Structure formats: C-alpha cells, structure tokens
Amino acid sequence: MTLRTETDRATGVAVVTLDRPHRHNAIDLETARELAAAWRGFRFDDDVRAIVLTGAGDRAFCTGIDRAADAPQPNSPFSTDDPLLTIGPKANDLWKPVIAAVCGMACGGAFYLLGEAEFVIADETATFFDPHTTYGMVSAYESVYLAQRMPPGEVARLALMGSAERLSARRALETGLVSEVTAPGGALEAALRCAGTIAGHPTEAVQGTVRAVWAATETARTHAFAQAPHLIALGNLPSAEQAELFNSRKPGGFRMR
C-alpha cells in the first residue's frame, strides 16, 4: 500500500497519508488508484465527517506524478489520459471537508490535491513550486487549480519560473495559497484541530457549505479544464526531450521568496 488511512471514530476525523517518503510522496499509478478509492470510500462512512491529508516524512508533502510511472497516451491531439485527474476528493464526488497539512516540498501534481482541499495549513519548512516549464511541459491543470486560490500574477510567476524559484510558506500565506503557517512539524496538529472542530458541526450543513464554496469557481474551472488537453498537446516537448531536461537538472540553484 502506498497510502495510509486512519480514522478516529470518537472525533469523526480521518487522516490520509501519502506514504512514499523514499520517492518524496510522488504519485504512481497505484497511489492514484488508492486515493480515488479512499475518497469514494469516505462517501459511505458516516463516522468520517472531516479529513486531513498529509505526506509521510518531513521532506515532502507530494512532488506530483512519479516520473517512473508509465501512463500511455492516446495518439490524438484532442485528448490526454492524465492519471492525476481522479486523485482529488471533488473528482470523486466527496463533499466532506478536506484539510491539507503540508511540510517540505509541494510541487507540480501536488496542486491537484491542494486545489481540491478546502484549505491548506503549512509549517515553516513548506515550499511550493511548479517545475513544468523548466522541463518543457505546459502547466495547465496545476495553474488552473492555483488560479482558484491565488492572484493570477502570482500563479503566472510560480508556473513560469519553474524550478528556478520556490514559494516559501510565509509567501504562500500572503498570496492566499495557505491559510495558516505553523512552527516546523506543527501543520498536522493544527489541521487535526481544525478538522475536529468542523467534524463537530452538523454534517449536512458542513457538506452543503463545502459544495457552495466549490460551486463559486466550478464553472470557470470546468471551462479552463476543457482547454487543458489541447494546450498540453500543443506545448509539451516530446517525452524524450523532457527526460533529457529533467536528467540534466542540478541540485539547488533556486531562489526562495
């Protein structure tokens, strides 16, 4: 198993942990399937009224798709098979609140998860970046998710600077991506505290509110997502050229802001 789930029946809070610390909690195809199954399972578990999502270890919350994952693509410019499109709670029709607790790196495909959480709590070690453009890939879905939380100029800078720049937890708080910054190691505790409070409220009112907030941006996101496969097909370098850029990367060399 690449995912751990634990439920406290007394509080009504479940914790979902990406459990691949040796791969910086990158998501392979098995993890993608397990995430979808977990969200769908929570729909039928009335004892779970709020969920905290986090990553194992202290180096990364999630670094997106595991580059070793083999996801064959259709030979058409009009469609792509993106295994990350089904990893989030909303994509699986779950309207119970999800709070993300982030320490370490959160980048690339991690924004599919953060974008479908109600809010994000990060500790001071958290950093956020999107390396797509550095490696010849279009940041499409990631940028759309980010644009629901951050000013467009901040989204553009984060996406276009690629791996050359990282957003600190403090700057993420200032731009709206994060709702609270804790001391190192404190994000999970803070998220559990919030989840416990929310789980104590009447569940129908909570889920209705989650749905209402999502509805506020749903139309724009759906229209933007419809363009994403074409933009990716037009703008991505061939896989071999992407791999060459990725393999030639050097450690460090980024600016923190």
Tell me the DSSP string of 15-27. EEEE--GGGTT-B
Q: Which domains does the chain possess?
A: 3-184 (3.90.226.10)
Query: Among residues 174, 173, 201, which one has the least CA distance to residue 187?
Result: 173
Angle at 50 between CA 49 and CA 52, to 5 degrees: 155
Joined tokens for residue 29: 């195809």
What's the pTM value of the predicted model, to 2 decimals?
0.94
**Average pLDDT across the chain, whole number:** 94
Query: Among residues 185, 111, 182, which one has the least CA distance to residue 146?
Result: 111
Q: What's the confidence (pLDDT) of residue 207?
A: 98
Contact at 8 Å (CB) between 210 and 118?
A: yes
pLDDT single digits (tens) 196-253: 999 999 999 999 999 999 999 999 999 999 999 889 888 999 889 998 998 888 888 8
Q: What's the confidence (pLDDT) of residue 77?
A: 63
Least confident of 78-87, 96-105, 115-124: 78-87
